[in-house]
């Protein structure tokens, strides 16, 4: 156990409860074999950006959540891609999203490991998932090398929209180049994923996913024309511009020249 | 091995060679049991700040390295504190610094683990260290709880200056409150450690430590009065101010409003 905190050790009254719980969920994911070491480092990068964004959901993120919802509800075959970090952090929310959209969850990880893929699948099933797809060695995406190119023929391969939160830039780019829409959640508005996706939610996934679920429930009854209007008025560039402005110091410098 | 890269897999020609090597050294540190999971997350935070700083050593960092050197060469009992991240990243440089200053290395880690302490000590000895101190259960620093309060009577306990790169804010604060000078290396100029230390080198430890070693060799022959002049003209506040200015967007926003 290396003497580190688990989710059970963190009192609900702790001022940094959410951040510590999130971190503990990921380190538990590593101990269970789902989450990679590189996943922990990537999470640390996210923490730093979240810190600079004030650790709150901004208006620009709410606009992206609205557009993501409209995409989900107008797509023919939306698919939810799951990696070792999202499985550890928000398994129940991913399962609920899959239920609401009647979409498959598909395990897709950066570093090849059949064991990790099965552990992630079992973790999602333990959280109520009914359908979890794994990659097939004979089905590949173009524009990608490495393990990330293998996908499932009933999942990402036939999807017109893929939800790939906490993803790498190459993969996001390959999905876009192959004609798919991509929704991502990424705390770094400068990352290649953020820059490439159709809709980038610049927010902490732990805060954003419950908001996304609420929005999907609310907009579920909307007419397709209204959903298309939401999509037409959405501008991912301006979201990234505003996110970077906040990141670069909305509140001015905290260090003062003496 | 979880399918992740080791230092041997990374070609020297790769454009992100230093960053990938650094990451691989840390994940190897975890596999060897020296580095903690929380250490990986902390490294990710550092990566994000380094990215925003342009992944280069700025002038303000060179000024801090100069002041750190003057502190080292004027202190009576400088001590070098080593944790699981610094041991994995820069063991040879830490050993060389200890040799140049004729100072002890002292293992001090956040999460209590006698096994990890011994692994870190052995790793430093394998890199040529002659004297590595461990914490003693009967010797404690005031103003601290947890494992971090235990120190060595011949090391940090009697030190007037402690070098604590990549440290936590509580520990830095306790060392300062107990009357010691503290030199740190921290990529986040907003962190409590950065704000509290006597000298904060806002730079990547992998770039900064070789520069620090060079400076110690150069200033080693300087008169004490010249070294004191360097210290008198140094202003840590202005270093933090400049670092934050760069972090907040020296080069302007990269995302443009369309």
pLDDT digits (tens, 9 = 90+) for B17-34: 888 899 999 999 999 999
- Cα nearest neighbour of B251 on chain A: A248
Element (DSSP H or E) covering residue A181: strand A181-185
Residue B95 has pLDDT above 90, yes or no: yes
Tally of domains within chain A: 1
Q: A43, A46, A48: which to substitute to probe chain B, counting the most B Cβ within 10 Å? A: A48
Q: Give the rounded distance of the alpha carbon of A240 from its chain centre.
A: 16
Residue B250 has pLDDT above 70, yes or no: no
Banded pLDDT at B248 (limits 50, 70, 90):
confident
Residue A15 has pLDDT above 80, yes or no: no
- Cα nearest neighbour of B111 on chain A: A3
* CA–CA separation, B80 and B254 (whole Å): 39
A210, part of any domain: yes
* Closest CA–CA distance from residue B101 to any residue of chain A (Å): 32
* Closest CA–CA distance from residue B221 to any residue of chain A (Å): 32
Handedness of CA B108, B110, B111, B112 (dihedral sign): positive
pLDDT in tens, B125-144: 999 999 899 999 888 888 88
A1, part of any domain: no
B131, part of any domain: yes
Name the more confident of B103 and B141: B103
Q: Is B26 on the interface with A (CB under 8 A)?
A: yes
A219, part of any domain: yes
Q: Is B49 on the interface with A (CB under 8 A)?
A: yes
DSSP state of B149: G
Q: Is B41 on the interface with A (CB under 8 A)?
A: yes
* Closest CA–CA distance from residue A220 to any residue of chain B (Å): 31
Q: B40, B43, B147, B148: which to substitute to probe chain A, counting the most A Cβ within 10 Å? A: B40
**B45–A40 CB contact, under 8 Å:** no
* CA–CA separation, B227 and B221 (whole Å): 10
* CA–CA separation, A66 and B241 (whole Å): 38
Chain B residues with CB inside 8 Å of A26's CB? 37, 41
Among the listed residues A148, A142, A133, the one whose alpha carbon sits nearest the alpha carbon of residue A94: A133
pLDDT in tens, B180-224: 999 999 999 999 999 999 999 999 999 999 999 999 999 999 999
Q: Is B248 on the interface with A (CB under 8 A)?
A: yes
* CA–CA separation, A51 and A43 (whole Å): 12
A34, part of any domain: no
CA-atom Rg of chain B in angstroms: 18
Banded pLDDT at A2 (limits 50, 70, 90):
very low
Chain A residues with CB inside 8 Å of B49's CB? 48
**B188–A237 CB contact, under 8 Å:** no
Name the more confident of A14 and A213: A213
Interface of B with A in 195-224 (CB under 8 A): 195
**Residues near A200 by beta carbon (within 8 Å), at least 6 away in sequence:** A64, A184, A185, A186, A189, A193, A194, A236, A239, A240
A257, part of any domain: no
Interface of A with B in 122-141 (CB under 8 A): none
Q: Is B113 on the interface with A (CB under 8 A)?
A: yes
**A41–B30 CB contact, under 8 Å:** no
A213, part of any domain: yes
In chain B the beta strands, taken as DSSP E runs, fall at 78-82, 105-107, 132-133, 161-163, 181-185, 199-201
| Interface predicted TM-score of the whole assembly (ipTM), two decimals | 0.82
Chain B residues with CB inside 8 Å of A258's CB? 235, 237-238
B100, part of any domain: yes
Residues making up chain A, counted from first to last? 258
Chain B residues with CB inside 8 Å of A3's CB? 36, 111-113, 116, 147
CATH number at residue B202: 3.40.50.12640
Percent of chain B with pLDDT over 90: 74
Question: Which parts of chain A fold into alpha helices (H)?
Answer: 17-32, 37-52, 59-74, 84-89, 91-101, 114-126, 169-177, 192-196, 205-219, 224-233, 236-247
Domain of residue B229 covers 59-244
pLDDT in tens, A34-65: 999 999 999 999 999 998 899 999 999 999 99
Question: Which of A4, A116, A238 is closest, CB to CB, to B38?
Answer: A4
Summary mean pLDDT of chain B: 91
Chain A residues with CB inside 8 Å of B249's CB? 248-249
Residue B160 has pLDDT above 80, yes or no: yes
**B256–A237 CB contact, under 8 Å:** yes
The token duo for B76 is 């009576």
Local structure of B120: helix, strand or coil: helix
Beginning with the edge strand found earlier in the chain, give each strand of the sheet holding A105-107 in spatial order: A132-133, A105-107, A78-82, A161-163, A181-185, A199-201
Q: Is A29 on the interface with B (CB under 8 A)?
A: no
């Amino acid at each position: 156990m290396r003497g580190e905190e688990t989710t059970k050790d963190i009192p609900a009254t702790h001022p940094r409860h959410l951040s510590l719980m999130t971190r503990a969920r990921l380190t538990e994911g590593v101990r269970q074999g789902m989450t990679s070491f590189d996943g922990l480092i990537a999470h640390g990068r996210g923490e730093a950006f979240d810190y600079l964004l004030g650790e709150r959901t901004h208006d620009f993120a709410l606009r992206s959540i609205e557009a993501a919802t409209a995409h989900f509800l107008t797509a023919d075959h939306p698919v939810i891609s799951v990696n070792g970090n999202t499985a550890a952090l928000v398994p129940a929310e991913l399962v609920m999203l899959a239920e609401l959209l009647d979409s498959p969850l598909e395990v897709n990880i950066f570093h090849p490991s059949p064991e990790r893929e099965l552990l992630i699948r079992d973790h999602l099933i333990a959280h109520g998932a009914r359908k979890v797809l794994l990659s097939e060695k004979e089905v590949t995406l173009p524009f990608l090398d490495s393990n990330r190119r293998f996908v499932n023929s009933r999942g990402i391969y036939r999807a017109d929209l893929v939800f790939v939160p906490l993803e790498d830039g190459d993969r996001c780019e390959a999905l876009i180049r192959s004609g798919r829409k991509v929704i991502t959640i990424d705390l770094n508005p400068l990352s290649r994923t953020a820059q490439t996706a159709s809709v980038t939610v610049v927010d902490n996934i732990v805060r954003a996913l419950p908001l996304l679920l609420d929005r999907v429930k609310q907009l579920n009854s909307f007419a397709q024309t209204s959903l298309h209007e939401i999509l037409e008025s959405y501008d991912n560039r301006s979201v990234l511009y505003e996110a970077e402005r906040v990141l670069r110091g909305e509140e001015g410098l905290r260090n003062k020249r003496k």
